[in-house]
Structure 1
């Protein structure tokens, strides 16, 4: 790196102190890690709307201070193969406050082995290597381009974790079992492969959220049981990670659902589309309508589901509802709202998740058979 990066340690220490003052970092060991890992080596350039080229890189005097800020920096964009000319963000260096929040929740200790799903730039893997030692860290990503770049950056920074280009939804059995699994991509279903590759008593920390309604998610902190299930509470996280990609060339974006608007029904509702923004209710709505997409507009929101059902709902109440397809899906939202209000309008952290070999279930307050509120059975 050029002389412009000679004072990176000052910037890294300032970031570590900022996160400590904000109580994001409460373990002094993680403060030392943040101060020691050169984030700039993992983000040599990032997308910026302020630059004529669209990219800000090492030659720009504003590059280094931003790299060591508490910001998410988009580092890769790709066209969807079915949407030429339109780019989607496909990788980033996530804001350090979320990274460190998750690393605290992960509760790693000396000697533990960790599998990271979603290598991205390699910065989060470097943090883990600095804390645990490279021999205890495995990191995988579906994109060979990202893996190749991360391998070089990790090596140049002095870290040698196991790095592999593969579909992270299948885990990485070659190095299993792990004490901890952390996913830095968002998933709609926690793969049972992660449970199978984690020791009983080990933890899985996953960002669980729908591709089509990304605000309706949470972090799931799951403890693996000897019977092959994993269960635990949800932790509030309004905005999380980019969704896992189905393959390396396709962004993890919602699939377009064709709808049939030849037969349109109209009615009123006491629930307006703003209900979809209430964290606990939006989580519950997603669990009752898997695959939901939401397209907010200035006055109304359209929601769709994979079976072709759709509804346009105004924000103001009483809401005007237009819907079509096989199911009145706004009726499902109304039922979720009724359950939610009857149970004192619980927030995200009143819920938990249990993952079994064939399905996952959302539960309320306690993980027993009387409290299931989502579809499926673990």
Structure 2
């Protein structure tokens, strides 16, 4: 397929040069990798919101493929929510892919596990850098894996591919020098840490399903005791959330709320707190499983226990709430901690992953200070 299209090498080279100018590529080796891999071979069609599926017969196809855009390549309906197709796979914008590959700090000879095969394009970039035999790529969707296997082979790459739950890693191919997740998880799976050599790196997109803008990239170094820790890197818009099953998109589960008894009050913290970098991360830390539904005049949030609040953007904010607790008090507690500690951004935080869970901390000159419960 790579020989059927005249001029793809020039397009790939132009894309690589644009990524260098943007700062997404600083290592010249990655510039050559991008210029050498035919992205069009991995995106035979993509979805356009206005006109549906766009493929090779459409004059817009090739320009889009070699632009710095995320292109949705698979959609599906939720089995319990018919009538709407959710995006379930894509080829992510190359600037984010290359930013992550540079953060991964991979070099020739290293073994890499990629979680989230998708179209296969990122796996191809890794194969070009470290050779096919050193790359393992897994995805929960067998159809995606089969399609990627064919595309990779046509382009001359033969990494190890498997259809399995990404949260489990690939123990049969471990240990790895690097793990990179190109799908978002709310928690870094312990299996990944176990499957990386001491001194190795796990690069994961960590973000809540119901408030995706609150996430970050976690670059974790595996310690000799088997734990892993490292900084968070700002990334407002990352990857699609991991699917828990092949037949279900990675979207938040519906929380049923009781709106029969509504209480109201005012607050000095408005809905904008949920969209403030750093602070939104703390809100998620305080309220794991939070869902947020922005509207024209405010935002409604729900917690897994059915507590909810609808809060206006303007301060003093009007707060309407119900359910087992006043959930907005948790947002106010996170806001108070954030103000007291100098309004830290995402990069001020780090993550530690241990067998019993993960902990958010604030990075200081002396080390990492646990955030705790923000109370």
| TM-score normalised per structure 2 | 0.97
Distance 1:370 1:208, change over 3 A: closer
Computed over aligned residues only, the root mean square deviation of the Cα atoms, in angstroms, reads 1.5
Partner of 2:288: 290
In structure 1, what is the Cα distance between the partners aligned to 2:150 and 2:142? 13
In structure 1, what is the Cα distance between the partners aligned to 2:257 and 2:334? 23
> Any idea what SS the aligned residue of 1:365 has?
strand
In structure 1, what is the Cα distance between the partners aligned to 2:314 and 2:332? 15
CA contact (8 A) 1:80 1:251 kept: yes
In structure 2, what is the Cα distance between the partners aligned to 1:368 and 1:233? 14
The farther-off stretch of 57-66 and 95-104 is 57-66
Q: Deviations over 1:66-115 (max 9, x none)?
A: 10000000000001010112110000000000000000000001110000
Q: Select the residue among 61, 70, 95 that pairs with 2:68.
A: 70
Q: What is the CA-CA distance between 1:263 and the residue it aligns to?
A: 1.8
In structure 2, what is the Cα distance between the partners aligned to 1:3 and 1:223? 40
Partner of 1:43: 43
Partner of 1:350: 348
Q: Which runs of 5+ in 1 are unaligned?
A: none
Partner of 2:150: 152
Partner of 1:277: 275
Q: What is the CA-CA distance between 1:5 and the residue it aligns to?
A: 2.0
Partner of 1:213: 211
In structure 1, what is the Cα distance between the partners aligned to 2:231 and 2:55? 40
> Any idea what SS the aligned residue of 1:105 has?
helix
How many residues align structurally?
374
Q: Select the residue among 309, 312, 323 that pairs with 1:311.
A: 309
> Any idea what SS the aligned residue of 2:214 has?
coil
Partner of 2:17: 17
Matched, 1:91 2:89: yes
> Any idea what SS the aligned residue of 1:332 has?
helix
Matched, 1:166 2:164: yes
Q: What is the CA-CA distance between 1:121 and the residue it aligns to?
A: 0.1
Q: Deviations over 1:21-56 (max 9, x none)?
A: 1121110000000000000000000001343xx011
Q: What is the CA-CA distance between 1:371 and the residue it aligns to?
A: 1.8
Q: Deviations over 1:203-235 (max 9, x none)?
A: 000000000000001000000011121000000
Q: Which runs of 4 or more aligned residues in structure 1 lie more than 6 Å from their structure 2 counterparts after TM superposition?
A: 367-370
Q: What is the CA-CA distance between 1:370 and the residue it aligns to?
A: 7.6
| TM-score normalised per structure 1 | 0.97
In structure 2, what is the Cα distance between the partners aligned to 1:2 and 1:188? 37
Which residues in structure 2 correspond to 1:213-362 (within 5 Å)?
A: 213-362=211-360
